Chains A and B, each alone.
Chain A
Amino acid sequence: MDADPGRGSPEDHALSHVVARLRAASQALGHRVDTGADGLGNDMAVIHRRLVDVDRLVAALVASSDPMDPATRMARHDLMNALGAIDNYAELIAVDHAQAATEAEAVRAAVRDIVTRVRATAEAEAEADLNTP
């Protein structure tokens, strides 16, 4: 499930954009590596599987109106774990498969971008909540 670009704030649209970038980077990495070699297939499978989680969880975050709502917190936590797994396995691919290092680093850069945006958005919204009379 993709994040819905038709609703939400400009931050949500920006988030959906970097998620799309992550997906594209992951596809490029998948094309680059020989998935039959040295367990790389397993590593790519983790990335593909967790990308599905990322789509679902980003959609949940975009749909949420309260960043401190327990369900939203849990979605953010799960998203960080999913992104963490993608980052971890992209790093392992970069270490084990030097030819794919550039593509793997692009995946990691996209992951970091999403992490930064999600955290910044959560902090900004939480602060706005606190300042609301």
Chain B
Amino acid sequence: MIHNEGHDNRFRVLVIDDDPSFRTFFLRACTGTGWVALAVATPEHGLGALASFAPHIVFLDLTFPDMDGLGVLSELATRAGDTAVVLISGCDPEVLRSANRIGERLGVRMRPPLQKPVSIDDIRDLLTAFQAEGNFITPGTIAQAINENILRLAYQPKVSLRSGEYMGVEALVRWPVSTGTISPAQFVPVVERDEGLSLRLLTFVLERAAREAAAWKVNGACCAVNMSALCLAEASLPDLLTRTLKGTGMTPRDFVLELTETAALQDPDRVERVLTALRIRGFAVSLDDFGTGHSSLLHLQRLPFNEIKIDRTFVATLLDNPRSERIVRLVINLGQTLGATTVAEGIERPEEASVLAEMACEIGQGFYYARPMDPTTLVNWRDEWMQTQVEVPRKTMP
């Protein structure tokens, strides 16, 4: 279900309850919350309203004359899509908890259930928390933000740890809204659960970064773009990305694809085929967050990476934890052995940059050099950085 299609941008809540006094109470409780509320008496009407009203969240009673709440949950499971469900009932607590677990097993986005009696604050607190947690961010709203060109790119510079030379940037997606910015931590995980959306976001970022190349492109500078492993399920990915760059003046050689979410890597043969095809076309391929999560030596052994990105958690503890220091040294040696460039992210202190440079890590990235910035600021930063490097080489190995 795609929210907001044919609706305004307000949040919508649907309550399905056969008790008319509760429906009236619920609607009055929602007054002044900014949510658009709809109350219906029967599961049949509720299921119909899923399509016509497209609620972000449904409050569902568990007991109806003709159908129990579990039957409604089964129906919801096939139609609810991104919609979250809150069970609300006067039944015994263990029954409510059990029904909630059944909903989860059916794949419905269940929220903690509410035991009647509920108060106005119970309802309002839940709606407020739902908004605050970014639950309104769904594949549908993200797709809409992409289609309406709302997403922006911020660029974080990468610097040679040996010479201080500007090497390029990593393009990071930003979602501006009227109240500020929606954190990538809120919407990227949603993207990375959806193969089609992962592909859509990747092509969007690539195309936009290519159009904004004037900001980051100088000499041999490259732009790194995050690519979820889900994208590798698409056999035509190399063609798709090459086509995306057509007419932009940029070529695959100007980009590094940083592979994230390697937990999603399936079918090693196909993955190898797609990554190799990307390399043949000229894209560099980097294994992001190496050393954490599901990135493994097996990936390095089998797949044609030409860059390893050392996870920031190792960099953050590099100076204080001897084991981190040994692991980072090992990864850098591994990169050298495999002929892959090593990149350290999350550098925040000059001492970290020095130690990494001494270890022969090649590229650094982090707040010590610069925070992610918009294209105009990047141009100014780049000019200033290059000027500084000419006058007094600093922020490099001593």
Binding site for B on A (CB under 8 A): 46, 50, 73, 76-81, 83-89, 91-92, 95, 111-112, 115, 119, 122
Contacts and interface: CB of A to CB of B under 8 A. Distances in A.
27 contacts: A73-B92, A76-B90, A76-B91, A77-B63, A77-B89, A80-B115, A81-B19, A81-B22, A81-B90, A81-B116, A83-B90, A84-B90, A84-B116, A84-B117, A84-B118, A85-B117, A87-B117, A88-B25, A88-B119, A91-B120, A92-B25, A92-B120, A95-B120, A112-B117, A115-B117, A119-B92, A122-B92
Given A89-B25, A119-B92, 4 more contacts: A77-B89, A80-B90, A80-B91, A85-B21
Nearest to A45: B21
A75 to B, nearest CB: 11
Contacts, number: 61
A78, A83, A85, A115 pick with most chain B CB within 10 angstroms = A85
Contact of B92 (A76, A81, A83): A76
Contacts of A85: 19, 21-22, 25, 117
A25 B25 CA distance: 20
Contacts of B90: 76-81, 83-84
B21 A46 contact: yes
A123 to B, nearest CB: 9
Contacts of B21: 46, 50, 85, 88-89
Interface range on chain B (Cβ under 8 Å from partner): 10 to 19
Nearest to B19: A81
B28 interface: yes
Contacts of B28: 92
Given A77-B63, A81-B22, A88 B117 contact: yes
A80 B25 CA distance: 15
B152 to A, nearest CB: 42
A119 B25 contact: no
B89 to A, nearest CB: 7
A92 B120 CA distance: 8
A62 B178 CA distance: 57
A46, A112, A122 pick with most chain B CB within 10 angstroms = A46
Given A50-B21, A88-B21, A83 B89 contact: no
B122 to A, nearest CB: 10
Interface string B79-116: 00000000001111101000000000000000000011
Interface in B7-33: 19, 21-22, 25, 28
Nearest to A80: B90
Nearest to A78: B90
Question: Closest 6 CB pairs between A and B?
Answer: A80-B90, A84-B117, A84-B116, A87-B117, A88-B25, A81-B90
